[in-house]
Copies of this chain bind each other. A is one copy, B any other.
Amino acid sequence: MEQKRLTLSLRGGEVPLSPIRKLTPLADEAKQRGILVHHLNIGQPDIRTPQPVLDAYRNFSADVLAYGPSLGIPSLRESIACYHQRYGHAVQPRDVAVTVGGSEAIFFALSAVCDPGDEILVREPFYANYIAFAAMISARVVPIPSSLDNGFALPSHDEIARYITPRTKAILYISPENPTGIVYDRQEMDTLRELCERFGLYLISDEVYREFIYDDHVKFTSVLDLKGFEQHAILVDSISKRFSSCGARIGSIVTYNRGVMELVDKFAQARLCPPVVGQLAADAAYRMDPSYFMPIRDEYRRRRDTLVAGLTDIPGVSFHVPEGAFYLMARLPVPDAEDFCRFLLADFSMEGKTVMLTPGAGFYSTPGSGRDEVRIAYVLECPKIVESTQILARALARYNEKRTKG
């Protein structure tokens, strides 16, 4: 009898490898050669995790580490609701689902509104994992192109409408934005709202960086600020960056839409519960005084300003000054930024040090876009950022010298 062959899923083939992590083997090799690598490639803050979060782990005192409720422990759902109430929103604990990181929040939100073949609009460049989450449920991210040339401006209502098909189910955006640092202004939010109302779309709003805004004139608008829009709005969030607790894996979905919440509840029941001690830690974090964040924001502002000053001095580098988050998309004077990123790790060092950046193309799904761009995460102390820009300047000169000679 002829035996049939094993096959793998097509969905698996559609999930991209993380552009943030794919150069990791080269970085490991550089370290083995004794080179110090400044990691500006990954959004891992170096900010100390707040003491109440660490204490929650250290003080865990139950005898049995049992399952918790699927939608999260009541105390945490309440403290997340309070967090939003402080911003003037009428969020109740029933409107909050605790998730395994912001990742699961996005995944559940997409799963609640998309079937196979459905489409999600996302302004490009975008967080690469959005493609992965969509691919895992056989849905598709449709990019709304924007460009560094005009400061990544959101296209007009009519331009965006051209990308909407009968399969479009939602617009997903993030503000402050990874990877551009853009904060959506009120007019852009109104554009998204009108599109969602006109075409019957959900607006999935990734607000994990909402506190990371560095200029007083920049006003953050939450999706929950859009009055009368409650049924469309799905907010996804995480404690990872806000409380420097990436390893806790605690996020949340906030929505007033009961139908969406009922599906999220079913998805949540299937995976039983989020990590229990991590929820206690998150609860402690949300119960801190909001003033906790002020020195952190000041520190990130200094880092941004330091990075911007350093990049301004490098010939041929252009970029949009980020208003928030801790990323900057820069165009480099090279034809293939990924090749340059490899060069930085494999063939270059300055006084025994180099820099790891993320190639920009991984944040675009339009073929060919972003090839001369890199994402720089300013998650290190200012002296290291100064040094990193010096390394970058020297490396660019050396790389282009080699390239024109070659």
A6-B231, A21-B70, A232-B6 known; A65+B246 contact, CB < 8 A: yes
The answer to whether A57 touches B266, judged by C-beta atoms less than 8 angstroms apart, is: no
Asked if A315 CB lies within 8 Å of chain B CBs, one says no
Asked if A269 CB lies within 8 Å of chain B CBs, one says yes
Interchain CA distance A70-B199 in the complex, whole Å: 37
The answer to whether A60 touches B54, judged by C-beta atoms less than 8 angstroms apart, is: yes
* Nearest CB of B to A60, in Å: 5
Asked if A133 CB lies within 8 Å of chain B CBs, one says yes
Asked if A82 CB lies within 8 Å of chain B CBs, one says no
* Nearest CB of B to A199, in Å: 5
The answer to whether B263 touches A9, judged by C-beta atoms less than 8 angstroms apart, is: yes
Contacts of A277 in B (CB 8 A): 57, 247-248, 277-278
The answer to whether B8 touches A66, judged by C-beta atoms less than 8 angstroms apart, is: no
Interchain CA distance A385-B12 in the complex, whole Å: 46
13 additional contacts (CB under 8 A) given A3-B197, A11-B111, A107-B271: A4-B198, A4-B200, A6-B200, A6-B232, A9-B112, A9-B113, A12-B112, A12-B263, A58-B58, A65-B281, A103-B272, A132-B269, A136-B137
The answer to whether B49 touches A9, judged by C-beta atoms less than 8 angstroms apart, is: no
Partner of A260, one of B1, B8, B133, B136: B8
Closest residue of B by beta carbon distance from A199 = B4
Asked if A176 CB lies within 8 Å of chain B CBs, one says no
Interchain CA distance A269-B187 in the complex, whole Å: 35
* Nearest CB of B to A112, in Å: 5
A64-B48, A244-B64, A247-B275 known; A269+B138 contact, CB < 8 A: no
A48-B63, A53-B65 known; A169+B7 contact, CB < 8 A: yes
The answer to whether B247 touches A273, judged by C-beta atoms less than 8 angstroms apart, is: yes
Closest residue of B by beta carbon distance from A166 = B4
Q: Which of A15, A42, A112, A259 has the most chain B CB within a 10 Å cutoff? A: A15
Closest residue of B by beta carbon distance from A137 = B137
Asked if A17 CB lies within 8 Å of chain B CBs, one says yes
- Top 6 closest pairs, chain A to chain B, by CB: A4-B200, A247-B276, A132-B270, A12-B263, A116-B116, A275-B275
- Residues of A at under 8 Å CB distance from B? 1, 3-12, 15-18, 21, 42, 44-49, 53-54, 57-60, 62-68, 70, 100-101, 103-104, 107, 111-116, 118, 129, 132-133, 136-138, 169, 197-202, 231-232, 240, 244-249, 257, 259-260, 263, 266-267, 269-278, 281
Partner of A68, one of B10, B17, B68, B247: B247
Q: Is the interface of A mostly helix, strand, loop or mixed?
A: loop
The answer to whether A49 touches B21, judged by C-beta atoms less than 8 angstroms apart, is: no
Contacts of A53 in B (CB 8 A): 65
The answer to whether B266 touches A17, judged by C-beta atoms less than 8 angstroms apart, is: yes
The answer to whether B272 touches A248, judged by C-beta atoms less than 8 angstroms apart, is: no
Partner of A138, one of B137, B257, B276: B137
* Nearest CB of B to A59, in Å: 8
Closest residue of B by beta carbon distance from A4 = B200
Interchain CA distance A43-B115 in the complex, whole Å: 32
Interchain CA distance A53-B10 in the complex, whole Å: 39
**23 interchain pairs, CB-CB under 8 A:** A4-B200, A6-B202, A9-B113, A9-B118, A10-B115, A15-B267, A16-B266, A54-B60, A58-B60, A64-B244, A100-B275, A104-B271, A115-B138, A116-B116, A116-B138, A129-B270, A246-B273, A247-B275, A247-B276, A247-B277, A249-B272, A275-B278, A278-B278
Interchain CA distance A240-B231 in the complex, whole Å: 37
Closest residue of B by beta carbon distance from A46 = B64
The answer to whether B267 touches A136, judged by C-beta atoms less than 8 angstroms apart, is: yes
Closest residue of B by beta carbon distance from A11 = B115
Interchain CA distance A59-B68 in the complex, whole Å: 22
